[in-house]
Amino acid sequence: MELAQQLLDIERKLWTNNAAFYHSHLIDESLLVFPETGVITRSVAVDAMVAEHAEGRRWAEVPCDDVRSMRLTDEAALVTDKVAARWAHEEAKNVALASSVYVKRDGAWKLAFYQQTPLTVG
């Protein structure tokens, strides 16, 4: 499977907010940057997902457009895309540019860094 498709598959599964998937597909020292939370760690993100699931919160739709990827080294890659995600309990979409940096650890691609930059829909 092509690297871009491999990474996009991981990206899409991360949007399911499955805490176990997050824990296994992010490196221990990963950093995630969201407009609502600022910089958080993998453990904070996993705990938040557990809480979201307990509250019944889930994403209803997460279309990704303008996906681009670039291999940085043999063991690092970048993915960018525009996402228009909508929580099942909300009408409005959260539109953002997203950037992910993956590193290869023990033969598998893992998320090391993620950032969302919100876009206003006009």
Query: What sign for the dihedral angle of Cα 95, 42, 8, 87?
Result: negative
Is the separation of the CB atoms in 34 and 116 below 8 Å? yes
Q: Percent of the chain having pLDDT more than 90?
A: 61
Please check whether the domain covering 3-118 is classified as CATH 1.10.3470.10: no
CA–CA distance from 90 to each of 59, 66, 81, 108, 112 (Å)?
A: 9, 24, 22, 35, 29
pLDDT in tens, 34-66: 988 999 999 999 999 899 888 888 888 888 888
pTM for this prediction = 0.90
| Secondary structure of residue 75 in the 3-state scheme | coil
Dump pLDDT digits (tens) for 89-106. 888 888 999 999 999 999
Residue with tokens 């063991």: 75
Q: By C-alpha distance, which of 104, 112, 119 is closest to 26?
A: 112
Domain boundaries of the chain, sorted by first residue: 3-118
Largest separation between any pair of C-alpha atoms in the chain: 44
Instruction: Please name the residue ranges forming H helices in the chain.
Output: 3-14, 19-25, 42-54
